[in-house]
């Protein structure tokens, strides 16, 4: 009679079966349905839809805005995580709680708030519009709402790593004469780099698929401010199911490829660390 190895938890078959079933129902089957829908069109039609100039423009705008927001969130999120971990000050608990607000707040509400604030007659827009800066219905306002939606991912990814850092290493570096910058670059950064890459990838993926907030702050004009998710919804409203599926497939391939690249960089960072 074969016995399970001691390291294997009881109920492994049941839990693995439940996990695979859940993964199949929630992730694999919907993606499979999308792929099957795209295969209903001929290769030439799929190619024309996926690489239409309007679609290429939407891909570019999506990656530029999501990437810009993710890069900014990486730097600012690291700063916030550092402040929360290393300092004690009045209002720290409130600040820590506010960071999670974008998780709970519907993104459409965030888009509505930003569009109201930065319109030419909004509370903020009326002060900056006379200087020639028009954020309303621009790329920059899209980046701003993506900053809002992706910000918590970086902070919550980096914060636990900073809390677990051994302070003795920093003290040793200071004793050996290292400056503050050298201590951060040589001691702290290698330890938190995998977490930073993870936070960046999560914020980037979140921004790449964002629709609810962008539709309020962007003019959604083709070739100007229209993103990939907005184009997909527009195609669905036009009953162009094949075009929407082709665009979604290309967004999926590009996003998955970027995540694979980021994961490879993360593993490399862990190895070097």
DSSP codes of every residue in 33-71: HHHHHHHTS-HHHHHHHHT-HHHHHHHHHHHHHHHHHHH
Within-domain flag for 106: yes
In-domain check, residue 12: no
Name the percent of the chain lying above pLDDT 90. Answer: 16
Considering only residues 180 and 93, tell me which one the structure prediction assigns the higher pLDDT: 93
What is the per-residue pLDDT for 78? 92
Residue 16 lies in a domain: no
Angle at 152 between CA 252 and CA 57, to 5 degrees: 35
Whether residue 165 is contained in a domain is answered as yes
For the cut 70, the answer to whether the pLDDT of residue 7 exceeds it is: no
Say what the pLDDT of residue 135 is.
Answer: 75
Query: What would the pLDDT profile of 118-151 be if each residue is shown by its tens digit?
Result: 877 777 777 777 777 777 777 888 899 999 999 9
Chain segment 76-120, per-residue pLDDT in tens? 999 999 999 888 888 888 988 889 888 888 888 888 888 888 877
> How many structural domains compose the chain?
1
In a domain? residue 246: yes
Is 9 within the bounds of a domain?
no
> Does residue 270 surpass a pLDDT of 70?
no
pTM of the model: 0.83
Instruction: Tell me the CATH number at 161.
Output: 1.10.3720.10
Query: Which residue, among 203, 215, 205, 200, has the nearest Cα to 252 in the 3D structure?
Result: 205
Q: Does a structural domain hold residue 111?
A: yes
Say what the pLDDT of residue 3 is.
56
Q: Which helix (H) or strand (E) holds 17?
A: helix 12-23
Q: Using 50, 70 and 90 to split pLDDT, how confident is the model at 64?
A: very high
Looking at residue 192, its pLDDT comes to 87
Domain that holds residue 237: 30-272
What is the pLDDT at residue 273? 56
Determine, yes or no, domain membership for 18. no
């Amino acid at each position: 009679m074969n016995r399970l190895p001691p390291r294997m938890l009881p109920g492994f078959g049941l839990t693995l079966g439940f996990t695979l079933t859940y993964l199949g129902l929630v992730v694999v089957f919907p993606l499979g349905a999308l792929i099957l829908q795209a295969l209903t069109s001929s290769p030439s039609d799929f190619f024309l839809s996926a690489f239409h100039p309007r679609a290429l423009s939407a891909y570019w705008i999506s990656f530029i805005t999501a990437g810009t927001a993710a890069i900014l969130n990486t730097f600012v999120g690291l700063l916030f995580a550092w402040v929360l971990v290393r300092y004690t000050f009045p209002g720290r608990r409130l600040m820590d709680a506010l960071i999670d607000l974008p998780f709970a707040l519907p993104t459409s509400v965030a888009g509505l708030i930003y569009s109201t604030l930065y319109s030419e007659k909004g509370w903020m827009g009326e002060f900056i519009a006379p200087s020639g800066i028009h954020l309303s219905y621009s790329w920059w306002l899209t980046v701003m709402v993506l900053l809002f939606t992706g910000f918590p991912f970086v902070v919550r990814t980096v914060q636990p790593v900073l809390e677990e850092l051994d302070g003795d290493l920093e003290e040793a570096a200071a004793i050996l004469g290292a400056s503050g910058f050298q201590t951060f670059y040589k001691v702290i950064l290698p330890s938190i780099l995998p977490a930073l890459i993870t936070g960046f990838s999560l914020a980037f993926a979140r921004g790449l698929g964002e629709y609810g907030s962008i539709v309020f702050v962007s003019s959604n004009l083709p070739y100007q401010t229209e993103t990939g998710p907005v184009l997909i919804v527009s195609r669905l409203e036009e009953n162009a199911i094949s075009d929407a599926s082709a665009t979604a497939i290309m967004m999926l391939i590009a996003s998955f490829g970027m995540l694979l690249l980021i994961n490879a960089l993360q593993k490399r960072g862990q190895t070097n660390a």
